[in-house]
Structure 1
């Protein structure tokens, strides 16, 4: 779980230095890394791959890196009431949920009862912040039944996952900076969003957004063209209302409000987008409203 926002920002200010010291220091050179291989069947590997593809933490990996991570992952089974991570302790593993659910609790002040924050579902990952920032666990996560987890060790995370995340961050930070909706964000915030965004490819005539569906994903067009259509009268064909090109974005209200989509967005050519899911945004940075309030005059309409 994410620590307090300002605390996380302070940790991130020195993260490049601390990461370099831990991963590529004098006694831990890249060449010294020996991949961990835990034998498993192809069926189990396929199951792990499917789960990793659901988590934004791993979507910067190339095929070879994905194989290394899959080989390194170990299985952990838990029963109801088991604390997987405990707030304040040192963390050396990242977890991906395969089966079951786990509840996350955080104590915000000494003497207070822990507060329930969320429930982790299959496909979700947790425990990454302790590895990214060499920080104590920011919350306690407890099995609320029998669970099956995939566990990744600190070394593999540092040498493979963190490296891939850094490349992805470098690739997309400048792009995010060019998006007007996100222009008030600082470097740290854009860095965190770069970790969370996912790349997707759509073929011509394929729907990216469908009118009337509940919106939970925000899209930024990286390459190609798309068109928006909208139905103005029941029973009549939707009409074109807008065209999109590389650098444009759509679905932004999904980050603010859980509302039905106001129009269709359809690929006009083969295109690539990066997408950001509403819950991932809130988990990393909190409500978008607070960020937009920094440049209220520009985005007042989004807050209505």
Structure 2
């Protein structure tokens, strides 16, 4: 027989449960009298997911863990303790099986209330039924999100905040939920039913996927700030949860794991399409097939494709995912290389040669998170780098090439230039022992006056590249200058040479090197003539040593690429 003191203690515990708060004392007392005290050892499964539910529990002491089974793993939903209630979903909503498994973490004492007793109480005090039903629906929604949606990676507090913002919609069969080409303000989480993803091309419609409960759709256009890339049409009666654009942004910006998950989802679903501003040009044809260079006519950028890359490029018509591309690639080459395919598509996307949500700059900015050290390094590099680019300079290069510089590419001129460069190298080598012996007499700060002349050598080398581009009839895309880290920079954009074969590209690179060698030779030959004891010779040697070193440093990346 339960004592009055026990009834009063249970009543106080019940009154602390939000759903029973403000219930009349006589109802709480009546439930407490009918409640059954139960004890469970640590590790005991109190409720098993999927079973029918007949009792509701309130914890008197101890702790329990709430879990549910997802498609791949067991998901921990919560840990409950004294005063918490569980088992209310199956009791509050008729014919609903247990939605989670409850396991005792410690020795647990709880009292339970049968569904029959609860129904009698709710009949006498209807607000309790309404509160229990609202709680049950919230728990069902929480379980659904944690069990099968992309938002399952969010911590509990962020899931709770998201649930408060969701809008539950019910749509009839053959309803267009999303229309291709529209600008959207929501993405949708499919709670029940199924939908078709349909691509519209002129008068043709093609179903490319069918989505089932747990699927998220419509997020790509929100993350990429673009129009809808496909239509989504309900197949049957569906319940969908609408997630607002700002709510989606808040979630991915505050949770790195969700951002990474969303980026992976975008890449798997993306159907990249060739940028219409890109033109192709064949630069080589051999036993492996054609090698093609792509040119983005709006951005003035280039991308070289291998024969395999060209095969993939031709498939990028906006209807194929990475998985589809892998299947077609396997049929052609009888090899499965999804990573290589992803690298080709990713390279094209990052370079701006594709219309793609996964490689869209807005999506990348939202979803791609650098580690703190890498982020700090990138910020420092950006702060210490200033580059000014001037385009539309090809006419200037063409004019001076036609007037004067083209004569420097004649055979006699090249022989003279080679002689000057060789004489400078020979003089430098012969004078090196004597100059090294004299260097201790000169403070290092005296040689700082040579820095402007080294910059001139850099300018001359870049001009050599530029005029060599004009020799081959290609466009000088632009010139740039600025500051990177602790040194000034100057460069000529010779990327239009990508449309030539490898030999002209090599010659353009060598033209810059030869120009600097000739310039240094003109400085070094007089020093060789006057002898090492002259001050000019010491400065000329230091200047030449620095110039040769810079030339080698600039040449190394080209040699690595070549060999």
Q: Which protein has the bigger helix share?
A: 2
| Bigger Rg, structure 1 or 2 | 2
Q: TM-score range by the shorter chain?
A: 0.3 to 0.5
Q: TM-score, normalised by structure 1?
A: 0.45
Higher relative contact order, structure no. (Cα contacts within 8 Å, ≥ 6 residues apart): 1
